[in-house]
């Protein structure tokens, strides 16, 4: 979305002992950065957000790199903008040790203050490309799939799309809802409808399995209880005897997902 102009090695998540630009030959005893080590700018891991001080500010809690010399300095807010009612900002730190394996094995807490031109109110905050929202006076991080305010209706497409993203299928797969009563969900989902590319290559044909998923409503979302390509209720009621028969009794076996790209030009192999 936005790039850090001074970044040397972008870290989207800070992980102890793992460096974005580590030298394979680095030894643990050489972990401390030298006096001439180059300091780079990296994203800092945001661990929490609290309102204030005042109505135009929030306090951002950060896990700063620690455990050695040159791990972290100058934790700050960078690239702050406001668009369409959302406050965007990068929370960054400078480090000379993060590019050396084992130099910064731990974290230490730090805080920075983000200040807006107008009262922040309940506007969402996008910090390092992750969104935080104010609910009942406290900030929490929004779900990457469900957003900040998921609908109460679990049969809503927001929830069913999130269910597909949790399945072991291609990220391009889209589910078809066959039945949903709020407690149970039935969907058919192709394994990989784009194995020939999003736009199928000339001469390529996609012929992939389409499976039927039976899911149960759980506090965190839809949870798979059975998967099959057959029809009827046998598979799901063996896994979950409480599954209502009326939702599955008339189901037919699934078909396959087949699509083809344009034919190869004349004279090409296979054309």
Q: Which of 257, 263, 259 is nearest to 197 (CA)?
A: 259
Provide Rg for the chain, Cα atoms: 25
* pLDDT attached to residue 35: 52
Judging by DSSP bridges, how do beta strands 130-135 and 221-228 pair with one another? Answer: unpaired
90-109 pLDDT, tens digit per residue, is: 999 999 866 677 789 999 99
The Cα angle at residue 104 between residues 103 and 108, in degrees rounded to 5: 160
Segment 145-160 shows an average pLDDT of 90
Segment 161-177 shows an average pLDDT of 92
Kindly state the percentage of the chain with pLDDT values over 90: 62
Reported as a pLDDT band with limits 50, 70 and 90, residue 264 is confident
Contact call for residues 31 and 101 (beta carbons, < 8 A): yes
Q: Is the pLDDT of residue 43 over 50?
A: yes
Reported as a pLDDT band with limits 50, 70 and 90, residue 12 is very low
State how far the Cα of 54 lies from the Cα of 69, in Å rounded to an integer: 35
Helices (H) and strands (E) in the chain, counts: 3, 15
Q: Which residue has the higher pLDDT, 266 or 61?
A: 61
Could you tell me the two tokens for 174?
A: 């889209």
Judging by DSSP bridges, how do beta strands 184-190 and 125-127 pair with one another? Answer: unpaired
The reported pTM is 0.61
* pLDDT attached to residue 267: 60
Q: What residue ranges in 17-72 does DSSP mark as E strands?
A: 40-43, 45-51, 57-66
108-144 pLDDT, tens digit per residue, is: 999 999 999 999 999 999 999 999 999 889 999 998 8
> Residue 164 in 3-state DSSP?
helix
182-196 pLDDT, tens digit per residue, is: 999 999 999 998 888
* pLDDT attached to residue 197: 82
* pLDDT attached to residue 206: 83
* pLDDT attached to residue 265: 75
Contact call for residues 184 and 241 (beta carbons, < 8 A): no
Could you tell me the two tokens for 135?
A: 């609910």
Q: Is the pLDDT of residue 223 over 50?
A: yes
End-to-end alpha carbon distance in the chain: 42
């Amino acid at each position: 979305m936005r790039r850090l102009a001074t970044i040397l090695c972008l870290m989207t998540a800070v992980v102890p002992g793992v460096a974005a630009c580590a030298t394979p030959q680095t030894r643990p005893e050489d972990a401390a950065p030298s006096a001439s080590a180059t300091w780079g700018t990296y994203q800092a891991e945001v661990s929490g957000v609290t309102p204030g001080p005042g109505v135009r500010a929030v306090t951002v809690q950060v896990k700063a790199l620690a455990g050695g010399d040159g791990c972290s300095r100058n934790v700050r807010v960078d690239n702050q903008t406001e668009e369409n009612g959302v406050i965007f900002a990068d929370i960054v730190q400078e480090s000379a040790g993060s590019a050396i394996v084992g130099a910064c094995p731990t974290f230490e807490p730090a805080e920075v203050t983000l200040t807006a031109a107008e009262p922040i109110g309940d506007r969402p905050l996008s910090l390092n490309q992750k969104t935080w929202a104010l609910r009942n006076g406290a900030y929490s991080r929004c779900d990457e799939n469900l957003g900040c305010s998921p609908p109460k209706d679990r049969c809503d497409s927001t929830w069913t799309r999130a269910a597909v993203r949790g399945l072991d299928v291609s990220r391009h797969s889209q589910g078809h809802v066959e039945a949903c009563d709020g407690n149970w969900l039935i969907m058919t989902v192709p394994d990989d409808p784009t194995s020939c590319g999003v736009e199928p290559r000339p001469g390529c044909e996609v012929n992939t399995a389409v499976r039927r998923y039976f899911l149960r409503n759980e506090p965190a979302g839809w949870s798979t209880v059975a998967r099959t390509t057959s029809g009827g209720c046998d598979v799901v009621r063996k896994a979950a005897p409480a599954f209502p028969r009326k939702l599955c009794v008339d189901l037919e076996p699934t078909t396959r997902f087949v699509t083809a790209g344009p034919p190869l030009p004349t004279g090409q192999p296979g054309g």
